[in-house]
Amino acid sequence: EVQLVESGGGLVQPGGSLRLSCAASGFTFSNYDMHWVRQTTGRGLEWVSVIGTTGVTHYAGSVEGRFTISRENAKNSLYLQMNSLTAGDTAVYYCARVRKDGNKGTDDFWGQGTLVTVSS
Residues that bind another protein (CB under 8 A): 35, 37, 44-47, 50, 58, 60, 94, 99, 101, 104-113
16 vs 62, beta carbon nearer another protein: 62
Nearest to another protein of 12, 37 (CB atom): 37
Q: Smaller CB distance to another protein: residue 90 or 114?
A: 114
Q: Least distance to another protein from the beta carbon of 7, Å? A: 15
Q: State the minimum distance, in angstroms, from the CB of residue 49 to another protein.
A: 9
Distance between CA atoms of 2 and 25, rounded to whole angstroms?
Answer: 6
Which residue lies nearer to another protein by CB, 16 or 100? 100
Q: Return all residues near 107 (Cβ < 8 A) that are at least 6 apart.
A: 35, 37, 96, 97, 98, 99
Task: Compute the least distance from the CB of residue 104 to another protein, in Å.
Answer: 5
Q: How far is the CB of 86 from another protein (least distance, A)?
A: 20
Q: Per DSSP, which regions of 27-90 are E strands?
A: 34-40, 44-51, 57-59, 67-72, 77-82
Torsion from C-alpha of 105, 9, 92, 41, nearest 10 degrees: -150
Answer whether 51's CB lies under 8 Å from 70's CB: yes
